[in-house]
């Protein structure tokens, strides 16, 4: 093997190792960012769990702080978490307060202001729609009817199904399976006994 071909081979190996090293560093930065976001999410969920345990003793669910109807709390917290991660990267010496503490304070602050403009619960609306029909109804039709009668509400199909299943678990709605489709009917007071 000539010295010229050995130099070319060595040069190619050096380029390949440098490229792999750069990719490795980029991937490490990516993973570090993901780890930071997961830590923030863990903190938020821990704070939410603590709040839930604190309010678990209340027998009256209406005393619990209310979530805003137009945006879920998790979406707000994720945006706060992403903004906090950006701020923390730009100022390394500064420590940011816990995202969960901010979310808890926001829920507490909004709870009193929302008392005057409280919207009915999705479960109550779906139960009201169900009682207006004699035959079993699928979740998709109930969602379509909900969107037509309450244009301000826009739950996803999965949220509607989950709410209906919650009503089934509470014994307020019955589930009927017909081949591959699932239909729902309200439980009348005579059926409950």
* Residue extents of the structural domains in the chain: 3-113, 122-192
User: The sheet that has 137-138: what strands, in order across it?
Assistant: 137-138, 181-186, 173-178
- Taking the domain 122-192, which CATH number applies? 1.10.10.10
pLDDT of residue 97: 46
Q: Which tokens in the block code for residue 176?
A: 């009927």
What is the number of other CB atoms lying within 10 angstroms of the CB of residue 90? 8
Q: Which tokens in the block code for residue 28?
A: 């490490």
pLDDT of residue 83: 52
Do 184 and 170 form a contact (C-beta atoms < 8 A)? no
- Helix 157-169 × helix 139-149 angle, to 10°: 110
pLDDT of residue 80: 53
For 72, phi then psi, to 5°, come to -70, 150
Of the candidates 109, 108, 96, 120, the one whose C-alpha atom is nearest the C-alpha of residue 48 is 108
pLDDT of residue 146: 92
Sheet strands (E) in the chain: 137-138, 173-178, 181-186
Q: What is the DSSP letter of 72?
A: -
∠ Cα 184 191 139 (to 5°): 5
> 10-residue block means of pLDDT along the chain (193 residues)?
87 94 95 94 90 70 51 52 49 46 49 60 91 91 93 91 93 90 86 54
């Amino acid at each position: 093997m000539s010295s010229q071909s050995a130099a070319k081979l060595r040069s190619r190996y050096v380029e390949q190792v440098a490229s792999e090293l750069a990719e490795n560093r980029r991937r490490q930065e990516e993973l570090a960012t993901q780890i930071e976001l997961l830590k923030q999410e863990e903190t938020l969920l821990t704070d939410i769990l603590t709040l839930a345990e604190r309010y678990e003793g209340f027998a009256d669910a209406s005393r619990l702080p209310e979530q805003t109807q137009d945006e879920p709390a998790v979406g707000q917290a994720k945006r706060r978490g992403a903004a906090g991660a950006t701020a923390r990267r730009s100022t390394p010496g500064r420590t940011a307060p816990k995202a969960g503490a901010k979310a808890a304070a926001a829920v507490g602050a909004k709870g009193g202001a929302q008392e005057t403009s409280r919207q009915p619960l999705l479960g109550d609306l779906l139960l009201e729609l169900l009682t207006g029909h004699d035959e079993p109804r699928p979740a998709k039709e109930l969602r379509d009817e909900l969107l037509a009668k309450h244009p301000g509400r826009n739950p996803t199909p999965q949220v509607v199904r989950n709410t209906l299943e919650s009503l089934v678990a509470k014994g307020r709605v019955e589930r009927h399976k017909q081949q591959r489709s699932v239909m729902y009917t309200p439980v009348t007071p005579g059926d409950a006994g």
